[in-house]
Amino acid sequence: MQPRQPISELATHQVTNMPPYIGDQDLWLDDSALRDWVCLFGGAWAREQLARAGADAGAALTFEKADAANRYPPELKAFDRYGMRINQVEFHPAYHDLMKLAIRYEVPNFAWNHKGPGAQVAHMALTYMFSQPEGGVMCPMAMTYAIVPVLEANKGPGNAWVTKLLSTNYDNRDIPVDEKAGATVGMFMTEKQGGSDVRSNSTRAQPLGKESGPNSAYLLSGHKFFCSAPMSDAFLTLAYTDIGLSCFLVPRWKPDGERNNLAIQRLKDKLGNRSNASSEMEFQDTWSIMIGEEGRGIPTIIEMVKGTRIYCAASSAAMMRQGLVQALHHTGHRSAFQKRLIQQPLMRNVLADLAIEAEAAVALVMRVAHALDQSEENEDEAVFARIGTAIAKYWICKRAPAHLFEAMECHGGAGYIEESILPRLYREAPVNSIWEGSGNVICLDVLRAMHREPTAIPVILRELEAAKGKNFLFDQAVGDLKDELSNTDDLELRARSLTERLAVLLQACLLLKHGAAATAEAFCCTRLGSRWTGSYGVLPATADIDAILERAIPTAS
């Protein structure tokens, strides 16, 4: 928090040439690119809620609470003082304040509470804004969002949870769900021996009674190696029955009002995402309900994973935007060699390059969200959503860490100290690339989408063809893509380069069709040029850096 009267006249020197406190941000009104892409893809009707959310998410107090929640991470309280097992995790009050704020603004359920055109777009805009101050609370937000359609499709006992998940009330009490004002849900898949290879899981499920199959009660025995948000009210997980790997809903409390047998072993000491607890968990005759068809656990839980993956992409785009905002603020107030840093030609090049990358990221997120909005009525859009989510998740999450490193470097040493938000953002950035499928897993999913959906590549190519004729480099790159797709040799070996090419071309297409001319041209001449290495600050002298920066600088600045 900014001191009321900071002292600049010190005993040995006067403090000068230091940026002022950034203070309150307005994450909606100050972000021209976000507003434009949201409105373009049908989310304009939600502007009032987005404006309120942007002001509250960007408030200095919100950022201060995010800092506190990370400085004082959660602590495991496996037992009470009498030695009885309670499996609780205690959080700093700031974490609960952030959870309450996010749920009040429907960050976990907006699209389901306001179904209709543009609902997913507006939902991802909320995700994008709330991810800027703090990523830890977004983990339970993402999982709660993603499980709703899975439970709605199940039509069984698990469906009764949906009403609680759609609530705008945050209730952190560890009590049975039917006594709560609202609920959140987590997801446990990986085990020690398999990681992403969930078919190697060893957790077993036995029917509790004579009934078996979907919506029947089972007892689970086994372990899970990564269990984030362990204070959620229920979890979706995988376990083997005699028929095969199946999906189960595991509540913290059993229907008889007794605690379920969820034994938290320890909390992970993570690089980032420290405000959010991640744990190891053991199941010991743990009560659960089968969700979906027996033996079809992976397809059932993958429907949830699709939802969490777009959250990862949106969150990474958000951190890129906040890193850019911090860099613009610092360089706009700090002088070196008789000029403000933002006036120095090479720094302007770096900042403009960061700006076009950040806008390309949010544009692709909103395009995928738009496809999700259209998917029930339009099969081509449903196909685009399936492959586009994986493409966006891979590329945007891969670009975020380097982007934030460059934003940190714009600050010099001041960006490297913990009082700056940049170290926390930088530590947070890799998690979105690792969670919900690391890079190789996602690229293999892109290949699977290409093979299982005969229209996937035609849909992507039609999207790209709509921008042909607007830029020579783009036209050439689309032709090269077609050549690459026609060669089916060693596709798995080339999966990363192919996914990257698809992502960059989709971003270029969006910018050429709908973006500012200066941003689109600069993006194409670098990202589609033969000399691009992925580094920042390499825009050519012909780039309209003034126009790019004018669009990127928060309007309040």
pLDDT of residue 366: 98
Closest C-alpha to 235, from 286, 291, 185, 181: 185
State percent of the chain over pLDDT 70. 99
Tell me which of 11-25, 189-203, 333-347, 352-366 is least confident. Answer: 189-203
For the chain, give the number of residues.
557
In the chain, residues under CATH classification 1.20.140.10 are 296-557
CA distance linking residue 420 with residue 90, whole number of Å: 26
CA distance linking residue 111 with residue 120, whole number of Å: 5
| pLDDT higher than threshold 80 for residue 4 | no
Give the three-class secondary structure for 235. Answer: strand
- Pairing mode of beta strands 75-79, 204-207: unpaired
Average pLDDT over every residue of 385-393: 97
Compute CA distances 179 → 144, 172, 239, 294, whole Å.
Answer: 18, 12, 28, 30
CA distance linking residue 23 with residue 361, whole number of Å: 25
pLDDT of residue 335: 93
| Three-class SS of 373-412 | HHCCCCHHHHHHHHHHHHHHHHHHHHHHHHHHHHHHHHCH
Where residue 347 falls among pLDDT bands split at 50, 70, 90? Answer: very high
Where residue 199 falls among pLDDT bands split at 50, 70, 90? Answer: confident
| Helix extents (H) in 435-488 | 439-452, 456-465, 472-486
**Fold assignment, 144-295:** Butyryl-CoA Dehydrogenase, subunit A; domain 2 (2.40.110)
CA distance linking residue 100 with residue 112, whole number of Å: 18
pLDDT of residue 260: 97
Give the pair of three-digit tokens for residue 548.
């790019």
Where residue 197 falls among pLDDT bands split at 50, 70, 90? Answer: confident
pLDDT in tens, 449-458: 999 999 999 9
pLDDT of residue 2: 64
pLDDT in tens, 289-310: 999 999 999 999 988 888 999 9
pLDDT of residue 195: 80
Closest C-alpha to 548, from 35, 32, 29: 32
pLDDT of residue 1: 61
List % helix, strand, coil for the chain (3-state, nearest 5).
50, 15, 35
Which residues 6+ apart lie within 8 Å of 464 measured at CB?
Answer: 478, 481, 505, 506, 509
Average pLDDT over every residue of 72-87: 94
Give the pair of three-digit tokens for residue 14.
């006067």
State percent of the chain over pLDDT 90. 91
In the chain, residues under CATH classification 2.40.110.20 are 144-295
pLDDT of residue 432: 96
| pLDDT higher than threshold 80 for residue 549 | yes
| pLDDT higher than threshold 60 for residue 130 | yes
Fill in the amino acid letter for 430: P
pLDDT in tens, 402-461: 999 999 999 999 999 999 999 999 999 999 999 999 999 999 999 999 999 999 999 999
pLDDT of residue 556: 59
> Taking the model in full, what pTM does it have?
0.96
CA distance linking residue 414 with residue 162, whole number of Å: 46
* Mean pLDDT of the residues in the chain: 95
Residue with tokens 């434009």: 36
pLDDT of residue 144: 97
Which residues 6+ apart lie within 8 Å of 431 measured at CB?
Answer: 135, 270, 271, 272, 273
| Helix extents (H) in 334-378 | 345-374
**Strand partners of residue 217:** 289
CATH class, domain 296-557, is mainly alpha
pLDDT of residue 213: 94
Give the pair of three-digit tokens for residue 542.
């012909």
CA distance linking residue 157 with residue 184, whole number of Å: 16
pLDDT of residue 3: 65
Sign of CA dihedral 529, 533, 536, 540: negative
| pLDDT higher than threshold 70 for residue 472 | yes
Buried b (16+ CB within 10 A) or exposed e, 103-125: bebbbbbbbbebeeebbbbbbbb
Which residues 6+ apart lie within 8 Å of 36 measured at CB?
Answer: 514
| pLDDT higher than threshold 60 for residue 557 | no
pLDDT of residue 97: 98
